[in-house]
Every structure is written in structure tokens, then in C-alpha cells.
Homo-oligomer: A and B are copies of this chain.
């Protein structure tokens, strides 16, 4: 039985990867409408008609890119598990998300761009798959709260705040680097951010006793 994905030659596989890599670069920097097929083709080292041989429409590239993105993008949350110690679990979720902001900033920006424009292409997924996943994990977190392992609060907004604070370092990177300046804006900023976020989420700002 053949899967739903069309069978492809080795060259097609490779060229499609090349195009997707180039498109990620271009789309994440300029947005969908701000990017041209020519730009992507040039970044992929081929002619425009050649690119259109592998992807019939500009939208197809974006769609493929978005589908792949979502899987890897939600992986850290999927890993959030009921097994270990709650605070440790949350701490490592934050760390994983921050690492993704550091290692895959283009993916983060591509996603941010899509949401900013009202998520025209992935709204169904947000209301379906994403909501289901978040509700599921919110239930896990609620369990931790009932068990007194973490403070009682709103699990959904907790997840939002983790997304916001970590993705900020990818999406608003220019601003972060501008404000930190040349000396503190180097690669150390992610370690500083990790330390800060750990402290914020665990203990907040109020001094003890």
C-alpha cells in the first residue's frame, strides 16, 4: 500500500530540501508576501522555473514548511511529562524552549509571522491539535497544583508566559541585542536569559521573608 505522499526520486528529495531550507531563510526574514520566488530560487542556487518544477506554487512551499515546523515546534511541550519532579519538569521545558529560540530562530520567526497575520493558514490546527495538546498538558499541571507541588495558578497562562518569554529571544532578537549593546549582546545572552527565567519562574521577584 502506497502512502499518501507522492513517491519521489533521490534528486527530487534533495532539491526539495534545498528549496525548503532556502525558503525558511527568506520567508522568516521577509514574511510570506515580502518574499519572492526569485529570492528563494537564488538562495537555493537554481532558476525560478526550476524551483517551480519542484513546488508548483509559492504557497505550497510555505505550507510544506509550516507543516514540518509545527511538529518540531511543539515537541518540547509534548515531552512535558507527569513522571519526574514538577519543578524540574517545568524548568527543563523552559530550558528546551529557550534552546529552540537560540538554535532555530528562523523557525520561530516564521511561526510568529504567521500568527501575527492572523494565522490564516494554520488557524484550524491552532483550534484543533494545538488546543488539544495544551489542554492535556494543562491538566497535568493542574494535577501538580492539586498535589501541592507547585503554586496554584492558571496553567494555560503559565504556558503562554513560557512561550512568550522564550520565543522573545528569537522573534525580538534585534531589539534584545540593540538594548543589551555590543558587550552583553553576545552569545552569553542566552545563558543570562536562562538564569533569569529560571529564577523568575521558580521564585518570582519578592524577597523571601
Chain A contacts to B: CB under 8 angstroms = 29-34, 87, 90, 109, 112-113, 115-119, 123, 126-127, 130-131, 134, 148-151, 153-154, 156-158, 160-161, 163-165, 167-169, 171-172, 174-176, 178-181, 184, 192-193, 195-197, 199-207
Contacts of A174 in B (CB 8 A): 115, 118-119, 123, 126
CB < 8 Å neighbour of A34 from B34, B157, B169: B34
Nearest Cβ distance between residue A136 and chain B, in whole angstroms? 12
26 A–B pairs (Cβ distance < 8 Å), ordered by A: A31-B31, A31-B33, A31-B116, A33-B33, A115-B174, A119-B175, A119-B178, A126-B174, A130-B179, A131-B178, A131-B181, A148-B207, A149-B207, A150-B206, A154-B196, A156-B179, A160-B168, A160-B176, A160-B179, A160-B193, A161-B197, A164-B172, A199-B204, A200-B201, A202-B206, A203-B204
Contacts of A87 in B (CB 8 A): 205-206
Overall SS of chain A's interface: helix
Contacts of A160 in B (CB 8 A): 165, 168-169, 172, 176, 179, 193
Q: Is the CB of B29 within 8 A of A171?
A: no
The answer for the CA separation of A131 and B182 in the assembled complex, in Å, is 11
Q: Is the CB of A172 within 8 A of B117?
A: no
Q: Is the CB of A34 within 8 A of B117?
A: yes
